[in-house]
Chain A
């Protein structure tokens, strides 16, 4: 065998496919063979996009009706596999839903998982994924040794999304079977936290603050600078855990992965957890009073100084330029 049947766990909101789905489809089609999108929910208007990015077939579970995707979508996947369409590789985005479905499916099929990966290569029957560790300073190459399907999750922005595949996008139904005892969780209400300005993971400029700001009120400086640079404010896990800003601001391993043109790290030391989320920025500016801070190891411009002095001076200078 070779790797000739790849599935991509896909998601769509309001007839729009998520960027993560399109990134993985683009990569999947570069690996050769047939690519299918497996949509958690209804593809709707996103079907054309999924096909344009490489999906020859689009499985849809139908409306999840408040069920959490983990138990529901993995059961639908297993039913299709039991029905005879056995993929060689299933690619998942490293996000809340992708991770939950991957986990459940790994037990159902008794297959190992490899997560947090940023690349995948295929050599004959062999599939190898690459995973950064120790804050991205080392790359581990791991090869699946068992039987297919192989299950892997990839960090957002690991691959560039590109359309123009012109795949058929043939729709197929993959209904959710009865979940029995695992189906006991139901979403009773959905809350969307309003944000203004560009989205953190899409902004060309990201200004993030960390523990070095000293206190929650000082995060205002981060927001002011982000606004002046038409960017998005972000945060290290330390100040999210401390409750200074909401979780949606978090950049890093358990937060968002960002790859902006410019990343400004203010009062951030550069813990592994943070670095994996921002090392892909094209240009990094760091302001920190500790000259030994790991963040200076990746900074293009590093200012060893007091963030409470440098930031206000910078903000004033930019305001003066108008």
Chain B
């Protein structure tokens, strides 16, 4: 059971986001960390390989610079190796280009039975890459998985829906995108962190993958401030502020 996990390294979401004033794209020049929403996919993959009793987990990722600190976190969790597509021409790439590049990187990652990705990244959140990758690779796919179990050449997935969930049966190989909460990600152990330092990370460029066209048919025409809400009344609770809420609700005639 070989599983490929798509991971993204993103600016720390705890810090306020910033746009590059010249390109209006998100600034990604500082330290990048593993997107927390990808840690669920890494954990799921490790558990599936463990259940199968053989195989390994390989990471694929794309970053405009040579950043690997986020990848090391996932390697420390237990992934065996990584393929990183690092190329300045990919800065600001759209989701379709990203999907083509990651699909190319999958070709460098060796044999696989399953590809796992998060449903969307925590910084750009376009949310289309897993399904686009599946289409580029000509594979079936299941989105928004809340559980995954592999049974021979079939993957069984409970897929989140508006009304509840669907049980889906899908032939392998396939692409499955996972929601947070599919599993509880482990914290890397000290031993894992030390081992991760020497695990192989193959760095390639877009051209190495045969991705020729690196342009995207969209441009940011302007960025404006959203109309601000009028400042509300903020009060410290003195034990009686619940009356203010009652009064507020009363004025709106909802009680």
Contact = CB atoms under 8 A, between A and B. Distances in A.
Contacts, number: 252
Given A108-B135, A190-B166, A240-B181, A184 B120 contact: no
A126 B241 CA distance: 52
Interface stretch (B50-58, B81-89, B94-102, B191-199): B94-102
Given A115-B128, A191-B165, A110 B96 contact: yes
A182 B135 contact: yes
B245 A309 contact: no
A162 interface: no
- Centre residue among A106, A144, A262, A279 by max chain B CB count within 10 A: A106
Nearest to B130: A103
A304 B245 CA distance: 12
Nearest to B236: A304
A216 interface: no
A314 B246 contact: yes
Contact of B226 (A138, A188, A229): A138
B138 A180 contact: yes
Interface string B238-255: 010111111011001011
Contacts of B94: 112-113
Contact of B219 (A143, A306, A317): A143
A113 B232 contact: no
Given A237-B180, A314-B242, A305 B163 contact: no
Interface residues of A, number: 92
B140 A303 contact: no
Contacts of B73: none
B148 to A, nearest CB: 13
Contact of B223 (A128, A141, A144, A306): A141
Contacts of A193: 163-165
Contacts of A103: 95, 128-132, 135
B138 A181 contact: yes
Contacts of A71: 135, 140-141
Given A115-B127, A192-B164, A306-B237, 15 more contacts: A70-B131, A71-B140, A103-B128, A104-B135, A139-B226, A143-B219, A145-B217, A254-B120, A254-B179, A296-B232, A298-B232, A304-B237, A310-B245, A314-B245, A321-B255
Q: Sort A-B residue pairs by CB-CB distance and give the 9 closest, nearest first.
A: A305-B237, A146-B217, A184-B140, A103-B131, A184-B171, A107-B135, A302-B234, A193-B164, A185-B170
25 contacts: A71-B141, A107-B135, A113-B94, A113-B126, A139-B226, A141-B220, A142-B221, A145-B218, A181-B139, A185-B142, A190-B161, A190-B166, A191-B166, A241-B180, A248-B164, A279-B229, A283-B252, A300-B232, A301-B232, A302-B234, A303-B241, A309-B239, A314-B242, A317-B242, A318-B246
